[in-house]
Structure 1
Amino acid sequence: MPIARIFQLPKNAMQSGRARTKDWTLDFEPAEAKKPDPLTGWAGSGDTRDQIRLNFPTAEAAIDYCERQGWDYTVIPAPEKVLKLQAYADNFR
């Protein structure tokens, strides 16, 4: 039975805006370990659920979807946002 992970993506360090940081994402834990391909050396596996990623507006919507499908799930809470307040002049101390 697939185990789904429900979480919020953090803001990327290369992002200036907050696009898609409020959405909740559902993906699956890997069913098998990745192994190197003997010809190319690239890592891969036969688990196709690794390619699935679903977005939901709320965590409750993602949980309802998992329960309707009969999947086990874990909800990973969003990390606390810590603001580092400093003055521009502090850069020159």
Structure 2
Amino acid sequence: MWSAEDMARASVRRQGEPLSREQVADKVAEAGRRERESGQQLHVAVDRGPTTATLGTSRSSGWPGAEWRRVAALMAAEDWPVYEPERDVQGQNVGARA
């Protein structure tokens, strides 16, 4: 069984193509925006009470913001001009857990 972290990592790796730092920064920004939107929707749902649509929903389930932030930090630390999933050692073992 995959964890939410595994699913997020797999989602990022499925991009398959090399991504520039700017493209990764855009992914981080988009994920942050979606996380904020999800948080706002959850707050509205709490005010109205849970529904089947909101039960079991979490910020990490739909948008892999933490994983995109990890990739951005990795690129900065390793001074990579582009992100290539096959170079990402931490992200390589996701399929082994399935």
TM range (shorter): under 0.3
Could you state the TM-score of these two structures normalised by the residue count of structure 2? 0.24
Could you state the TM-score of these two structures normalised by the residue count of structure 1? 0.25
Larger Rg: 1
Higher helix share: 2
Q: Which structure is richer in relative contact order (CA contacts within 8 A, separation 6 or more)?
A: 2
Higher strand share: 1
